[in-house]
Amino acid sequence: MRFYRVWQNFTGLTVGFVLFSSLLSTPVWAGRYIFNQKPQTLHRYFGHPTNKQTQGDRITYTYQPKNLRWLLPQFPRSDFSITFINNQAKTVTLNFNGNFDEYSGSYNYDQYLATKFYQYLFGYQPPIWHELTAKFSGNETIYFYEYCLGDGVATSFERYGYKQFTDTATLTYDTRCETPYNF
């Protein structure tokens, strides 16, 4: 009987501690949904778009929020656009807008920058970085790449020139990037 009371007190203390600690902890940031969202939802995330282009059922909004300059200080004229088809977000395109002369290094879009941009968009670090495709275009300086960032998101881009720069990088939903990964 005595053991039962000790066990009961221990269980009560454990449950009490768990409840108390859950009140003190900060909630986990689950991220933002981007793909298949309506323009109004994404305007709340990224502010008022600076440009709108319409082509049939395809609408592309361009955003240039001030905190993007903080994210990409070496590319101050960069912006990003989101293309909506039938009022649902389908692609996100990061546009470097010709900032190559100011950037002394090569590979302006790589795992580091893709991770920063993913975190900016979705609110958390991408779970993986896995090459899906690497193709040589036939021209000595043009290469096409696709990488899986996880949680259904893939990024694709071309590198060209002797420094292998990238004009734009695109993020899309891709089932190959859903868990479980079957690479």
Give residue-wise pLDDT tens across range 3-55: 555 445 544 444 343 333 333 333 334 579 999 999 999 999 999 999 999 99
What are 71-84's pLDDT values in tens digits? 888 788 889 999 99
- d(CA 21, CA 16) in angstroms, rounded, equals 9
Confidence of residue 107 (pLDDT cuts 50, 70, 90): low
**From start to end of 3-152, where are the E strands?**
51-55, 58-63, 79-85, 88-95, 130-136, 143-150
* pTM attached to this predicted model: 0.79
For residue 95, what are the β-bridge partners? 79, 168
What pLDDT is attached to residue 3?
Answer: 52
